[in-house]
A and B are shown apart, each in its own frame.
Chain A
Amino acid sequence: MSELSPISQSFVDQHSAAEFTSTLPWLDQLRAEGLDSFSMLGLPTPRIEAWKYTNLNVLEKLDVARPLESVSIDAASLAWLPEEMATHKLVFVNGSYEAGLSDIGDLTAGVKIMSLAEAMGKEPALLEAHLGKIASVETAPVLALNTAFIEDGYVVVVENVQLDKPIEVIFANQGAAAHHPRNLIVAKDNARATILERHVGFGDDSYLANHGCEVLVEGGSHIRHYRLLEDSAAGINLSTTNTSIGKDSTYDSFILSIGGKLSRSEIHVACEAGGAHTNLNGVYVARDSQHVDHTTHIDHLVPNTTSKETYKGALDDKARGVFQGAIVVAKGADGTDGRMSNKTLLLSDNAEIDAKPQLEIYADDVLCAHGFTAGELDDDSLFYLRSRGIPEATARSILVEGFLAEVVEEGVAEAYRDVFISKISEWMPKGIGA
């Protein structure tokens, strides 16, 4: 075993000092596996191919051992959805469930929504059946770190039910510390649910929010999972989502990345039975020296599964974007249809996008395509708008917003589009890229 870096070692030390409230034997075992794996691998460095473009040395400045003062977060600063939109709401402050800010409301038969900490007491069998079963920590150091610290997060289980109201989850962070929320979404037997996550940070301290999320969608079910990342300027947001899609089921993911010093949203999807389908969509906007990484991996394991993926971004100043998208079609997975597209507008000469689309196809009868572009705003479009009297700066904003809004229209159900489009508009100053 090679020597761990100081920051990796400090996580290991922190773990041995940690006192976990739940002591289910299988859960202790799972955490131990996470810790073992992390102790072996350490935090990833750019020497590892999958982390070539995103360097976690920013974490070195993080003092994870520092005891956190309790923070109080004003409920109003968490609001992000239209007032009239009723939701099942869960709020987590620095990774821990805050009942006082949450409002899960009444639940019908077939629906379970609760914090992971609560589920450890109430639904241990359910957790044991799923936690750590969809995601493997063997080659995933960041997820291994999350697994070592499993303590809280959210659990959504829907069976044979169509949930009318969306599930709203807010992760609020403030103060220098590392949190490792672990989330579980299970949909079975023609269930439908929409999950809206907002990640938000307050204050000037750097923090690490390291999310692990496991998703199981099967038996004709449909999960929509939309996320808004609005971390504070010094915040670091990592997430690893592992999704397993069963027969005739669909997983829709949309992520809008706006804030944070560094974010990496990693999604692994396995299409495991015929009719499995996934839409992975995302929009990223960044300025100053923000770093935003979207990494996806889709496995088409059996015949007749489909995937569609569109990520678009706009990068200004010295911002850096990363898109890594892999589609792997297994031997015999005929009838696979996998489409991937990544387009980035570079609004400044110093902005940078590193894109790595990757198709690995071991079957014969498949339709797979990927497209990638990066460039400036189109001159013809700009002239067209200006010739209609629209000042240049406004014309640029309109074009950038339109370019990005297209993904929202494609990837987000109509009821929630305005939430994301208005966040994009807010990001856009008049005169961007001028």
Chain B
Amino acid sequence: MLEIKNLHARVGDTEILKGVDLKIEAGEVHAIMGPNGAGKSTLSYVLSGRDGYEVTEGSVVYKGKNLLDMSPEERAGEGVFLAFQYPVEIPGVSTMNFLKAAVNSVRKYRDESEFDAMDFLKFVREQTKILNIDDNMLKRAVNVGFSGGEKKRAEVLQMAVLRPALAILDETDSGLDVDALRIVGEGVTALRSPERSMLVITHYQRLLDYIVPDVVHVLADGKIVDTGDKNLAMELEKNGYADYVEAAA
């Protein structure tokens, strides 16, 4: 599904990723944990194609294609989805219209027929029901005035309707209280499937109580420095990142 080899990337003059190697098979859920400043968010932006992140070395192959050659919208069309740490507020654009534009864009890209307004409404309502999202959210402007929990649930809703093959969740637990964390975690878990891989980026172990990973990686100073199973996350929760940070420094 996804193979990252010796990935180096920088922002401006600062090298942030210093040789990341990572391989994710279809249906697997990988967690990337690490201290602040390790390069976790940079990795998510490089994978989703944000401007300003320059890849200087290495490769990213996704479903056999060079991911780094594609525009952000092509990546989305190919099935890459990034759940943002800080979802962006879009005033004046209703969540419903935004979702419809997004879904029909990727359907068009995938040579599927576009939804008309009625079919789309039905399709979205099925998803909001599963995720326990109030339909009123659909009428509101995208993320405008949403609470932290609502923003993250809206991200999960976008993921549900776009049906990605690779979902990258960037610090999805940040800003959530325990109840919101459970709802979001269960929402994501409901979207696990044999065809869908996930890369869960988090500083804390707590999200992984709800989204149980197959593989856990530790990212420190721009490199994967350790890999294990879910028990590695438990250890990190107990011992912190001090050992890795010292070793990397």
Contact = CB atoms under 8 A, between A and B. Distances in A.
Contacts of B162: 388-389
A394 B105 CA distance: 10
A213 interface: no
Contact of B93 (A378, A380, A398): A398
A409 B72 contact: no
Interface string A353-395: 0000000000000000000000000111101111111111011
Interface stretch (B17-25, B45-53, B210-218): B45-53
Contacts of A389: 73, 76-77, 102-103, 105-106, 109, 162
B84 interface: yes
Q: Which of A384, A387, A398 has the most CB of B within 10 A?
A: A387
A165 to B, nearest CB: 28
Nearest to A383: B50
B132 interface: no
A402 B82 contact: no
Contacts of A386: 49, 71-73, 76
A403 B102 contact: no
B90 A388 contact: no
Contacts of A388: 76, 98, 101-102, 105-106, 158, 162
A409 B105 contact: no
A257 B218 CA distance: 56
| Contact-residue bracket for chain B | 20 to 34
| Contact-residue bracket for chain A | 20 to 34
A387 B105 contact: no
A390 B71 CA distance: 11
A390 B93 contact: no
A401 interface: yes
Interface string B69-108: 0011101110001101001101111000110011101100
A392 B91 contact: no
B155 to A, nearest CB: 10
Contacts of A391: 73, 105
A404 interface: yes
Interface string A229-272: 00000000000000000000000000000000000000000000
A138 interface: no
A392 B88 contact: no
A381 B76 CA distance: 16
A384 B158 contact: no
A220 B139 CA distance: 33
Given A388-B76, A391-B73, A403-B92, A379 B51 contact: yes
Interface string A18-32: 000000000000000
A387 B72 contact: yes
B153 to A, nearest CB: 16
Interface string B133-161: 00000000100000000000000001000
Nearest to A404: B92
B35 to A, nearest CB: 25
Nearest to A378: B88
B79 to A, nearest CB: 10
Contacts of B75: 387
A406 B91 CA distance: 7
Which 4 pairs from chain A and chain B are nearest by CB?
A402-B92, A389-B76, A402-B93, A406-B92
Interface of B: 48-51, 71-73, 75-77, 81-82, 84, 87-88, 90-93, 97-98, 101-103, 105-106, 109, 141, 158, 162
13 contacts: A381-B90, A383-B51, A385-B101, A386-B72, A387-B50, A387-B84, A388-B162, A389-B102, A389-B109, A391-B73, A398-B93, A401-B92, A406-B92
